[in-house]
Amino acid sequence: MESKAFENYTDRLRASLLDAGGVVGLVIMGSTAHAKFRDEWSDHDLWVITETGAQDALVEDLSWLPDYRDILLVVTHGKHRRTVMYRNRHKTEFAVFDVNEAREGKVERYRVLIDRDNIAELIESIHEHTIQEVQPKHDGLENLCVLLWTACERYKRGELLSARQWVDGFAVNQLLSLISSTEPAEDSKDPLDVRRRLELRSPELAAELFSQLGKTVPQAALGLLQIAERELKAKSPSLAWDKATMVGDWIRDV
């Protein structure tokens, strides 16, 4: 969506929700909140905060959404989350929460557009909790080893698609979380999705990780362990490198 059209959609959304019954807050997130990270492929990502009991009406009747007559499809995620796709290919992802439901969610980048009940303070507290929660745990390297060994077990069992998910998905995410924790904070980082914009921040690392996709599961697992050692050992020598070495030996025997 072109920039002016994107902002126009946001303005119409806010105006519509100002008149909607039971709405106490509107929070836009991610690139919706920060134009710096937005391009023609960006979608709208938002929370609508309501009085308790007002959520169902808003997820059942989507006429509060701009251009709702042009919606092509609606996908349900749980009770109060939805994704809508318009006929012009634009996508809007939203949740309709009361205050208690919102506390169970996660918030990274955000901007509050409607605040009728201390919503700004609520969202800031959720944001702070989110950042604390996504910090890598002390056993992060052990977790990486478990993920890689599980991938190899499934590979040997013949569960090839599952094995690829464990090595290319779960293990890569864990490795990137560990690496990110040793690097200075950057605007382009997304704590909720460590893969986002990696090609912009660390193009060589992104290319190296992508190259693992063409290798067998054991080869890719060893490759990720080698990247971990290269990127992390000097910075975090107290991690369980002796255990990682043992798991690497197991993988070489697969």
Stated pTM of the model = 0.80
pLDDT at 184: 62
Along the 254 residues of the chain, how does pLDDT read in single tens digits? Answer: 888 999 999 999 999 999 998 999 999 999 899 888 888 899 999 999 999 999 999 999 999 999 999 999 999 999 999 999 999 999 999 999 999 999 999 998 899 999 998 999 999 999 998 887 766 668 999 999 999 999 999 999 999 999 999 999 999 999 998 998 776 665 556 776 777 888 888 899 999 999 998 899 999 999 999 999 999 999 999 999 999 999 999 999 98
Distances (CA, A) of 180 to 171, 174, 192, 219: 14, 10, 12, 23
DSSP bridge pairs for 96: 48
Burial 78-97 (b: 16+ CB within 10 A, else e): eebbbebbbeeebbbbbbbb
Compute the mean pLDDT over every residue in the chain, rounded to the nearest whole number.
92
Q: What is the percent of the chain with per-residue pLDDT over 90, rounded to a whole number? A: 76
